[in-house]
Amino acid sequence: MKPKIAITLELSAKEDSQLNFLNLAYAQAIEKAGGIPLHFPPLSSPEIFKEALSLIDGLVLSGGADIHPSYYGEEISAPISLSPNQRTEFDRQFFHAALKAGKPILAICHGMQIMNVALGGSLYQDLAAQLPGSIAHRQGEGKAPARHRAKVEPASRLAEFMEGMLEFDVSSTHHQAVKVLGKGLRVNARSPDGVVEGIELPDHPNVIGIQWHPEKDPNSEASRRIFRKFVEMSHH
């Protein structure tokens, strides 16, 4: 049996006709790695998580817009583009439920920020405004992803994922980043400017967060290793 992997969906901000959507690349990457991708819309019933966890073997928290700063005790103080709170709340609860159930979790970009905030951490609301000197981590709306290096901490769980490949180029489309780490987290990767590019939970070795978008680099060996290792971990 192939592992069944839940992937969270983005939610449009229009309340009159809400749309769920997601780059097909996430599902394609899971399928290519040997898993069966399942999409989960941001519904709010607690029963959803209980039922979902009995159906799935792993969880991908996907990318998206910005988490409202109220989730980490701040007010809006920089240029941001908000994701609906309904989606933030769903992903946050799904993360906690999957963590409690011991499911492998791969948190990508917005998903990694959900992971950090869910564990009590905070974010830079806008790197350009709040961290002068940081490199370009995104190109702008409608443009190709930015490219930069990511360097993996050698003694980390992510280093095991990468099987010795500790420095590589990544696709980057974020303007926010981890500021204060959430409880129990440690950094497993950084970009050349020192910005946190990956986090993990030593007490839960099958939970990995990365700030870049491996699904946007399907032909990259680094991307293939991440998805392959994650799907392998999701085997019973």
* CA distance linking residue 110 with residue 35, whole number of Å: 22
Query: Of these residues, 160, 200, 215, 232, which one is catalytic?
Result: 215
Instruction: Provide the pairing of β-strand 123-124 with 177-178.
Output: antiparallel
- In sequence order, what are the residues at sequence separation of 6 or more whose Cβ sits closer than 8 angstroms to the Cβ of residue 173? 63, 109, 137, 138, 139, 145, 146, 213, 216
Answer yes or no: 10 catalytic: no
- Answer yes or no: are the C-beta atoms of 200 and 186 closer than 8 Å: yes
Query: Of these residues, 110, 137, 174, 213, which one is catalytic?
Result: 213
The alpha carbon dihedral of 71, 91, 82, 117 has a sign of positive
The alpha carbon dihedral of 162, 102, 100, 91 has a sign of positive
Where does residue 7 rank: exposed (0-12), middle (13-18), buried (19+ CB within 10 A)? Answer: buried
Answer yes or no: 215 catalytic: yes
Answer yes or no: 141 catalytic: no
Query: Of these residues, 10, 109, 175, 200, which one is catalytic?
Result: 109
**Residue 124 β-bridge partners:** 177
- The residues annotated as belonging to the active site are 109, 213, 215
